[in-house]
Amino acid sequence: MNNKFVIAVYVENKFGVLTRVTSMFTRRGFNIDALTVGETEHPEYSRITISMSGDGYAREQMINQLRKIHSVKKVEYLDENSLTRELLLIKIKNELKNRQEVLSAIQIFGSKIVDYSVNAICVEITGEPSKINAFIDVLKPYGIIEMCRTGIVALERGEGSILGK
């Protein structure tokens, strides 16, 4: 069975660390669905959130291989109870005949207009990947000009942290 899963990786915030992490996936023939990286509450560390598909064996392989990389300080599998969010910027055609439907969709999904011109509307939305996918599906008939997704960021629920385990 092929399932999506999310791995959080706490790494040293140094030149070349991301390359070492991603090349490990390449060498083993695994594909990354989404990858996000950002500085943490400690500037000397970054957090990499990796979303990928595979079975339980693939997940355990990746976690074990990541733990072997010197610059990796902590690796954690984030289960389905974790908080996951994604950001989407999407530019839609601004046509008079569809304008009200597009504006209604923007309001219903809790997104916001970040740029408006005579010919295009640029919208920002955050949420779970399923919400982002649904929003894209609703807007497709109105003419998507361009879009950009961040990929998943995720945290465990509750007071614990990746370093607190």
Residues in the chain predicted with pLDDT less than 70, given as ranges, are 1-2, 165
Residues 87, 73 share a domain: no
Q: Which amino acid is at 163?
A: L
41, part of any domain: yes
15, part of any domain: yes
Domain assignment of residue 117, given as a range: 83-153
89: domain CATH number is: 3.30.70.1150
Residues 60, 28 share a domain: yes
158, part of any domain: no
Q: What are phi and psi of 135, to 5 degrees?
A: -60, -45
Q: Which of 52, 50, 19 is nearest to 35 (CA)?
A: 50
pLDDT in tens, 59-84: 898 999 999 999 999 999 998 889 99
Q: How far apart are CA 137 and CA 159, in angstroms?
A: 35
| Domain end position, chosen among 40, 59, 78 | 78
Residues 110, 87 share a domain: yes
Report the b/e string of 62-75 with b at 16+ CB within 10 A.
Answer: beebbeebebbebb
Rg (CA), the chain: 19
Query: What is the count of structural domains for the chain?
Result: 2
162, part of any domain: no
pLDDT in tens, 117-137: 999 999 999 999 999 999 999
What pTM was computed for the model? 0.84
Helix-then-strand count for the chain, H and E:
4, 9
Are 78 and 6 in contact, with CB atoms under 8 Å apart? yes
| Domain end position, chosen among 78, 111, 141 | 78
